[in-house]
Structure 1
Amino acid sequence: MMRHTATLTAAICAGAVFLQGCNPADNASNSGSGTSPGTTQASARLDVKPADPLATVNGRPIPRSAIPQQHRPGPPGASDKMRDELVQRELLRQEAEKQALLADPAVAEKVDNALRMAVSQAAAEYFIEHQAPTDEEIRLAYEEKSAPLRKTEFRLRHIVLASEAAARDAIARLQKGEKFEDLAKKLSTDTASKAQGGELGWQTQDRLAAPVSAALAGLKNGELASVPVQTAAGWEVVEREDFREKQPPAFEQVKDQIVRGLQVKKFQQHVDTLKAAAKIDMPAVPSASPRPASPSPAKP
């Protein structure tokens, strides 16, 4: 479940505006270091008490969850290297507290931004875990997405001619025993298919001209249309070679993808609701000053 949540929250980071640019791995390592401008020095550290800390520095534990997901378990020695790095970060954080760096508004803003990213990510993950789509919602979404993928396909040949009379003559010749392939190579004006004997391969019904689609629907496999059909290309002689119903992917094959899509949709709706209920003041961003024009080179 954790892997599924990590994948989904990464998708939410890409899709949700206020989480744009977030990185779950980075957030995990920053989750213990953040404060808002104007807060006291003590509030710059969350009171984390893991049962099995990765390390303890001057009495302060570092949780094992501080190791980014992509480094677990990692190659031999990688975890030791990551632990050393986390210990160094904790030492530097304690040093920053001694130096009262959070009293600097610029530093406090950076820490506040890091905390905002980490906590917003936690809120997103909490919402995902507690707002799972129902089986009915998943099934309805599957039907909605799969319906357009259920398509009728015909495999066919055609000969395109300039006039109805020429097309009827071609049909008569085919009915007398001439091969469709040979006649298409001799007569068809469709340069794209004549070299293949008029072969068009599998075509979905919605991509065919309406008269051609209707003619094929009334034929059996291997049967020639007894009358030509007129299309924008000219007068066509058509032969139905085969027929099949193109099916969408099976439900179980795409279920996880559908669930992720529904969760992202629910999450975005949740964010939209929060925005609608909030009082948000967004001052206009000042436009950049135009650059002065470069002086023209002096004429000799």
Structure 2
Amino acid sequence: MKKHILTVSVAAALAATLALPAIAQNVAIVNGKPVPKARLEALEAQVKATAQRTGQPVPPEVMNQLRDEVIAREIFMQEAERRGVQGTEAYRKNMEMARQSVMINALFEDYKAKNPVTDEEAKAEYDRLVASQAPAAGAKEYKARHILVEKEDEAKAIIAQIKKGAKFEDLAKKQSKDPGSGAQGGDLGWANPAGYVPEFAQALGKLHKGQMTDTPVKTQFGYHVIRVDDVRDAKAPEAPKFDDVKAQIKQQMEQQKLAKFQEDLRAKAKIE
């Protein structure tokens, strides 16, 4: 009798031990139906992938809510099945669209996994981008000031006053209708002429250090009196370090590769 009781106890313990892995594999049991932990893991991976693509971190509270989301989906799924939703025409159409989306996304993910952008490719692209920012040979930058007024006669009067000894900076503060530079005595800082409207750029390019326009320069904004305070060789903008932008460059190149893959598939397809 004792032997029989002992055997039953061992069997119960063994059954409980064997049941543990099955329980561990489920998020919950909803109406007697297990919700596999794989669903939660898949949803977590989806959320993290979306966050990585957008460059936004996943808030901890969002990850904590995913278990509730998975359970809620199972509840709604069970109710949909109970009502026979899967037999409707709308369900079949939506399922076909969903199937296509899943397969297409899987195709693109497979392509990206098999055609990764290497560090060497990313570095070559980085070098190309940096080189493209280099100014053209002989390009110049100008440190200029200007006074902007509405009428040509006003500009001519200002030029006459400056030639008689009036300070350019003082007149700019008093009369320029460009509030940004006017408050700074007309100072525009260092800039490449290409950054200005054509008429202004052409006039600027004809001036040397210390020179001022003899006649007003007309643009869409009004009439300008321009003075060049200094000229220097144009400099390329300071580039960020490769390691700081490598991930961004790789992502952009991956998108370019994928776009080319899609274009090639369209070009090879026989459409009647």
Correspondence for 1:67 among 28, 31, 43: 43
Correspondence for 1:204 among 192, 201, 217: 192
Letter in 2 for 1:118: V
Could you say which structure has the larger radius of gyration? Answer: 2
Q: Can you give the 5+ residue segments of structure 1 that lack an aligned partner in the other structure?
A: 1-50, 282-300
The CA distance in 2 between the partners of 1:90 and 1:265, in whole Å, is: 39
Correspondence for 1:247 among 233, 237, 248: 237
CA contact 2:217–2:224 (8 Å) conserved in 1: yes
Segments of 4+ moved more than 6 angstroms? 163-168
What is the SS of the residue equivalent to 2:61?
coil
**Residue number in structure 2 paired with 1:122:** 106
The CA distance in 1 between the partners of 2:183 and 2:74, in whole Å, is: 72
**Residue number in structure 2 paired with 1:264:** 255
**Residue number in structure 2 paired with 1:47:** none
- Report the alpha carbon displacement of residue 206 of structure 1 after superposing the two structures with TM: 0.8
State the Cα deviation string for residues 95-135 of structure 1 (Å, max 9, x = none): 68xx6945x55433322222222222222222222222234
- Report the alpha carbon displacement of residue 184 of structure 1 after superposing the two structures with TM: 4.5
What is the SS of the residue equivalent to 1:133?
coil
Q: How many percent identity over aligned positions? A: 23
- Report the alpha carbon displacement of residue 270 of structure 1 after superposing the two structures with TM: 1.0
- Report the alpha carbon displacement of residue 240 of structure 1 after superposing the two structures with TM: 1.4
CA contact 2:145–2:187 (8 Å) conserved in 1: yes
- Report the alpha carbon displacement of residue 197 of structure 1 after superposing the two structures with TM: 3.4
Q: What is the 5 A alignment of 1:77-226?
A: 78-88=65-75, 91=78, 101=86, 106-142=90-126, 145=129, 153-159=141-147, 172-174=163-165, 178-184=166-172, 191-192=177-178, 197-208=185-196, 209-215=200-206, 218-219=208-209, 224-225=210-211
The CA distance in 2 between the partners of 1:205 and 1:61, in whole Å, is: 65
The CA distance in 2 between the partners of 1:259 and 1:76, in whole Å, is: 27
- C-alpha root-mean-square deviation of aligned residues, in Å? 4.6
- Report the alpha carbon displacement of residue 274 of structure 1 after superposing the two structures with TM: 1.6
The CA distance in 2 between the partners of 1:214 and 1:226, in whole Å, is: 11
What is the SS of the residue equivalent to 2:188?
strand
The CA distance in 2 between the partners of 1:166 and 1:60, in whole Å, is: 84
CA contact 1:150–1:246 (8 Å) conserved in 2: yes
CA contact 1:185–1:197 (8 Å) conserved in 2: yes
CA contact 2:27–2:67 (8 Å) conserved in 1: no
Structure with bigger helix share is: 2
State the Cα deviation string for residues 209-246 of structure 1 (Å, max 9, x = none): 34443356x43xxxx21774774356845131686746
Cα distance change on mapping 1:80 and 1:157 into 2, 3 Å: closer
The CA distance in 1 between the partners of 2:173 and 2:33, in whole Å, is: 87
What is the SS of the residue equivalent to 2:113?
helix
**Residue number in structure 2 paired with 1:27:** none
The CA distance in 2 between the partners of 1:165 and 1:105, in whole Å, is: 79
Query: What is the TM-score when the length of structure 1 is the normalising length?
Result: 0.52
Letter in 1 for 2:71: D
What is the SS of the residue equivalent to 2:260?
helix
CA contact 1:101–1:107 (8 Å) conserved in 2: yes
CA contact 1:162–1:235 (8 Å) conserved in 2: no
Query: What is the TM-score when the length of structure 2 is the normalising length?
Result: 0.56
